[in-house]
Amino acid sequence: MEERWLVGVDIGGTTIKLAFISLQGDIIYSWEIDTDICNKGKHIPASIARSIDQKLNELNQTKNRLIGIGIGAPGPVNAEDGSVEVAVNLGWENFPLKDILEQETSLSVVVENDANIAAIGERWKGAGKGANNLICVTLGTGVGGGIVVNGEVVHGVNGAGGEIGHITSVPKNGLLCNCGKSGCLETVASATGIVRLAREELSSTSNFSQLREHQTITAKLIVDAANEGDKLAKRVIQQVAHHLGLALANLANGLNPEKVIVGGGVSRAGDTLLEPLKEEFKSFAFPRVAQGVEIVTAALSNNAGVIGGAWLTKKRHMSI
């Protein structure tokens, strides 16, 4: 009998990643579609269902081959009914994603927060392989987080566990965050936060920096410049490492994890970020906590979410 496939889906603000994945966690086929956010995102489940059907047709496969769908969505998820409480970028509020997608696909659906499924993916097949206690932080447009304790994702009392991006990092005169608070980690360690820090550095000093040659400064430019030894860019990355190290150390002091995984676009700075981050973390962490942890870069890049989604549906159907 042919091996059956798991379906992993990761919903982003601009694109939705989809993949057929083996029971061993290997990607068989992966593809992307645009995120249709018109009419408050109500067409998203239908476009996912349509895309899965089209891909099955292309591959001459029937739906019987598929076991179920594990899907990640931005924002807090209601674990009871698989609805998404709020996803600002998509226009969702109390959106019954599980129910609608099950109707559209006739497959069983498990819904999880997108940062949590990235943490699950890294634990199954990536940098956190086998770790029962880990913190995963993703530095992208925002700062996402997933926490695994004793092999289980921390959801908390109402689905907001793991909101690492909203740990207060700048207690006084911090910038207003999208969440309504001021001084969140997201305001200094996200791609947008890094660009802002670089602009501040550029305006407060006349020192040479290759960043001055560019009209539009992006996080990628800053990361590349830091990797090439640009002093101003390295100072910016050092600031990010400081805020991130403090937040992660405080979190780790409460959790005593074996792995801290850093992912997202900003993590492409590699050792330029990781080395100062390790130093900062060590200076703020309880010594025994620092001894027990390994700080590593995420291994699965953009595939962590779909692989995590596949693991969720495997867990539901295989009782692993």
Structural domains in the chain (count):
2
169 and 289 share one domain: yes
103 and 143 share one domain: no
45 and 65 share one domain: yes
> What pLDDT, on the 0 to 100 scale, is given for residue 89?
81
182 and 198 share one domain: yes
172 and 89 share one domain: no
The owner of tokens 């029937």 is 62
Whether residue 120 lies inside any domain: the answer is no
- C-alpha–C-alpha distance, residues 241 and 196, integer Å: 15
For 80, which DSSP code?
T
Q: Which domain does 77 fall in, by range? A: 5-114+303-318
- C-alpha–C-alpha distance, residues 157 and 166, integer Å: 17
Whether residue 45 lies inside any domain: the answer is yes
> What pLDDT, on the 0 to 100 scale, is given for residue 319?
62
Residues of the chain under the 50 pLDDT cut: none
> What pLDDT, on the 0 to 100 scale, is given for residue 119?
96
Whether residue 267 lies inside any domain: the answer is yes
Whether residue 122 lies inside any domain: the answer is no
295 and 312 share one domain: no
Helices (H), 190-230: 191-204, 219-227
- C-alpha–C-alpha distance, residues 199 and 236, integer Å: 10
Residues 137-159: b if buried by 16+ CB within 10 A, e if exposed = bbbbbbbbbbbbeeeebbbeeeb
Q: List residues bridging with 29 in a β-sheet.
A: 20
> What pLDDT, on the 0 to 100 scale, is given for residue 158?
84
> What pLDDT, on the 0 to 100 scale, is given for residue 14?
86
164 and 295 share one domain: yes
> What pLDDT, on the 0 to 100 scale, is given for residue 136?
97
For 185, which DSSP code?
T
Whether residue 279 lies inside any domain: the answer is yes
19 and 138 share one domain: no
Rounded to 5 degrees, what are φ and ψ at 16?
-115, 125
User: Is 72:309 a contact under the CB 8 Å cutoff?
Assistant: yes
150 and 293 share one domain: yes
250 and 227 share one domain: yes
> What pLDDT, on the 0 to 100 scale, is given for residue 30?
97
User: Is 300:122 a contact under the CB 8 Å cutoff?
Assistant: yes
- What is the radius of gyration, based on Cα positions, of the chain? 20
For 269, which DSSP code?
G
173 and 29 share one domain: no
- C-alpha–C-alpha distance, residues 31 and 116, integer Å: 21
- CATH code where residue 293 lies: 3.30.420.40
192 and 281 share one domain: yes
Whole-model pTM: value is 0.91
> What pLDDT, on the 0 to 100 scale, is given for residue 138?
92
